[in-house]
Amino acid sequence: MPYRPRQQRDLECARRAVAAAQSQGRSATDVALAQIGAMFGEASVINAFKLRVEGFIRLDPQDAEVKARFGARTELLRGRGLDGAVALVEHWWRAERKAFQIASALGRGNRLSLEVLAELRLILRIMRFKHMQAEFFQIVAEIGGEPMAVAAE
């Protein structure tokens, strides 16, 4: 089966859900509920997260949105290798998830830092999977505003 972009696969999933509901002779309301379930179900939420991360990966490290979202955490990763950064961000994510659960139980949960860590966690895992250690050091330097050393000719 040829590759299809993630957004297209989401739409095809919703179309299949509608077709299945219609073939079973369900009412228009049930068909609409099947489509809503497919478009806003757990798989759709995960795909939306992955699409957001893909968007950040496509941006330049000097982009203001990237610096605003990941700049503070990237500064804390300076001087670490990619494997060490993955481990540290994983630790941060787990600690933040626990803190969010406690805060949510008290009615004061805020997901922003948890979302940023989840995005950074996935980005670093992708970089490790693609063996992008050299690019990791360059990106950390660029986001942090540190000038890269250029070889003199």
132 in a structural domain: yes
Tens digits of residue pLDDT in 92-109: 999 999 999 999 999 888
Q: Is residue 3 part of a domain?
A: no
CB-CB contact of 57 with 139 (8 Å): no
The whole-number pLDDT of residue 84 equals 94
> Treating both helix axes as pointing N-terminal to C-terminal, what angle do 42-58 and 64-77 enclose, rounded to 10 degrees?
90
CA–CA gap between residue 143 and residue 138 (Å, rounded): 9
Looking at the domain assignment, is residue 9 inside a domain?
no
CB atoms within 10 A of CB 89: 22
**pTM reported for the whole predicted model:** 0.73
Structural domain span for residue 105: 60-144
Q: Residues of the chain whose pLDDT is less than 70?
A: 1, 144-153
Query: In this structure, what token pair is assigned to residue 85?
Result: 């950064």
- Match 């605003």 to its residue by tokens: 68
- Tell me what pLDDT residue 94 has: 96
